[in-house]
Structure 1
Amino acid sequence: MKYFIKTFDNARILVEDLNSDIEKTILFIHGWPLNHNVFEYQLDFFPDKGYRCIGVDLRGFGESDRPYNNYDYDTMASDVKKIIDILDLKDITLVGHSMGGAIALRYLSKYNCHGVSKLSLIGAAAPSWVKTKDFPYGFTEDTVNAFIKDSLSDRPNLLKNVSDKFFFKYISSPMLNWFSNITLSASPWGTFKCLISLREERLFEDIEKVSIPTLILHGVHDLICPYEFAKYLNEKIKNSTLVPLNESGHGAFIEEKDKVNITLLNFIK
């Protein structure tokens, strides 16, 4: 079932809700510049295991509204809070990929884990997508600035370059075309404004506030969010387990979907 939920600024956020009569819930938050359809192989798997599965299109992506402003992590975390409150969700396993993992961490920090009992991070863009004085991993600010410039001048080429770096293992041409079409469906302004947020946002303090059981899944060949991100998260989140995915890049939920699904299933049982 698909429907929309309105946020504080009247943006309509698309929700795909499977098994809505079941209480135990998995809520999926996608990364940049994607939408909830990238979780196809999780949304195929978990409903048959007895879970309610909710996929969300973040503002500016997929079928959600495309406002020109408000693409910071606080706003997108408040969108997640609105969904959880409107649907009265409890005992949630929150699954965030890439930027979605960063938004999940901001949500847990800002709202004291409201409604969420477990967290899974897949290739999370945290604690910082860019290098800082004390965190020498990720892209440089200059590189992200070049991404933003490219997004404003030749967005399809930028997204092709991102898609080429996304996977480690062989991906069929039809699969890559499907994935590329998802990236191109994002709003142009949502695409570059989220790049600004990825450049500016820091989650070092947010991570310190997370104490719920956390499963960290991360491709060791990830070129978008280096594996060092996962090691840092595992060190700083007290109740966390890190599972390296040795045959994956940034798209582990596709590349090693069976391992991701079984590991996540065992974690939330």
Structure 2
Amino acid sequence: MGIYIPVEQGVNLYVEDLNPGGGGKTILFIHGWPLNHTMFEYQFDQLPKAGYRCIGVDLRGFGKSDRPWGGYSYDRMADDIRRVIETLRLEGIILAGFSMGGAIAIRYMARHGGFGVSKLALFAPAAPLFTKRPDFPYGNSIEELNHLIEGTYTDRPKMLEDLGGRFFARYVSAPLQNWFHGIALSSSGHATAMGAALLRDEDLRPDLPKISVPTVIFQGAQDMICPYPLAQATQAGIKHSELVPFAYSGHGLFYCEMGKFNRELMRFVGS
């Protein structure tokens, strides 16, 4: 069931609600940059069969959501997620975020005190920093992110094709690569550039100690976009969090090791 939820004047987010009457636990998924909720197709195909209610949100500027010119900050996007949770009257959910969506989930937990959330699942999160700093030697260079932004404004299809070539560690078919490329191309070019700027500039290190719910981090050992040390630093910053390695996965671990991903997620949700 797809619905639109207003998050501020003139801005509506598209939300896909699967198995709302199933009676099982609810997982709210936040997609990564520059994708939308359909990236979780191979989770949405399976988890509702096991009784879980799965809710996919398209962030502002992405997928079927409205495309405002402003509001592209982790704070504002976390506030958008709060509005979705309040509107749907969700309680005790598992908040799940991939890559930039993981960063937004972390900001949500810190900014809103984990309102409505009982557990946190982070998939290859772009945290605590996506870019290297003098006191943080891991991740991407600021110049690489500037290059992504420039590519967005000059040849976005080529920029996304280059990025897609580093996304999966295992072979994926050309049709699947094309499908994934199409998801990314469906986003607003402006939102794509703004998202890259957030990845470049945001620092989540102060947010991590504010998270107190059970937390799991899934991380591909071969991830070339969010390298493994980022997940280790995130785990170190969140008390009692669990790090689950995916030895054969790159950034797209939700597809590279789909079976393990779904099993580990259900294990965590059900524990």
> What's the TM-score, normalizing by structure 1?
0.98
Structure 1 moving runs of 4+ over 6 Å: none
Instruction: Give the superposition deviation at 1:23.
Output: 5.8
8 A contact 1:117–1:212 mirrored in 2: yes
Task: Indicate if the aligned counterparts of 1:23 and 1:90 stay in contact, CA closer than 8 A.
Answer: no
CA offsets 1:157-188 (integer angstroms, 9 cap, x no match):
10001111100001011110100010111100
Contact 2:6 2:13 in 1 (8 A): yes
Q: What is the letter of the counterpart of residue 125 of structure 1? A: A
What amino acid sits opposite 1:198 in the alignment?
A: L
User: Contact 2:123/2:218 (CA < 8 Å) preserved in 1?
Assistant: yes
Aligned partners of 1:29, 1:43: CA distance in 2, in Å?
Answer: 13
Name 1:215's counterpart in structure 2: 216
Residues 27 and 94, structure 1, Cα contact 8 Å, conserved in 2: yes
Q: CA deviation at 1:128?
A: 0.7
Taking the aligned partners of 1:9 and 1:61, their CA distance within structure 2 comes to 18
> Secondary structure, in 3 states, of the residue corresponding to 1:239?
coil
3-state SS of 2:32 partner: coil
Q: Which residue pairs with 1:8 in the alignment?
A: 8
2:44 is equivalent to residue 43 of structure 1: yes
**Would you say the 8 A contact 2:24–2:51 is kept in 1?**
no
Deviation string 1:19-54 (CA, Å, 9 cap, x unpaired) is 112362100000000000010011011111111110
Partner of 1:140: 141
Amino acid across the alignment from 2:53? R
Q: Deviation per CA, 1:142-170, whole angstroms, max 9, x where unpaired?
A: 11111111111111110001111100001
Tell me the distance in 2 between the aligned counterparts of 1:166 and 1:60.
22
Helix, strand or coil at the partner of 2:166 = helix
Deviations 1:51-92 (A, max 9, x none): 111001111111111111111100110110000000010110
Letter in 2 for 1:179: F
Instruction: Name the counterpart of 1:189.
Output: 190
Residue in 2 that maps onto 1:115: 116
Distance 2:211 2:10 in 1: 30
Distance 1:87 1:32 in 2: 24
Single out whichever of 193-202 and 99-108 deviates more from structure 2.
Answer: 193-202
The code of the aligned residue for 2:227 comes to P
Unaligned runs of 5+ in 1: none
What SS does structure 2 have at the residue aligned with 1:39?
A: helix
- Determine helix, strand or coil for the equivalent of 1:168: coil
**Residue of structure 1 in register with 2:81 after alignment:** 80
Question: Does the residue aligned with 1:7 lie in a helix, a strand or coil?
Answer: strand
Unaligned runs of 5+ in 2: none
Per the normalisation by structure 2, the TM-score is: 0.98
* CA–CA distance in structure 2, aligned partners of residues 83 and 203 of structure 1: 22
What is the rounded CA distance, in whole Å, between the counterparts of 2:195 and 2:133 in structure 1? 19
Distance 1:180 1:23 in 2: 33
Task: Give the C-alpha shift of residue 10 in structure 1.
Answer: 2.5
Equivalence for 2:18: 18
Give the C-alpha shift of residue 207 in structure 1. Answer: 0.7
Code of the aligned partner of 1:95: A
* 1:200-257 CA-partner distances (Å, limit 9, x unpaired): 1110010111111111100011111111011111112112111100110000001111
Write the deviation string for residues 115-144 of structure 1: whole angstroms up to 9, x where unpaired.
000011111000011111211111111111
Task: Tell me the residue number matched to 2:266.
Answer: 265
User: Amino acid of the residue matched to residue 268 of structure 2?
Assistant: F
Q: Give me the CA root mean square deviation.
A: 0.9
May I ask how many residue pairs the two structures share in their alignment?
Answer: 269
Aligned residue in 2 for 1:162: 163
Q: 1:195 & 1:142 partners in 2: Cα distance?
A: 12
CA contact 1:130–1:139 (8 Å) conserved in 2: yes
Per the alignment, residue 257 of structure 2 pairs with 256
The equivalences for 1:212-251 within 5 A come to 212-251=213-252
Between the aligned residues of both structures, percent identity stands at 49
For 1:87, give the aligned amino acid.
L
Tell me the distance in 1 between the aligned counterparts of 2:264 and 2:162.
Answer: 30
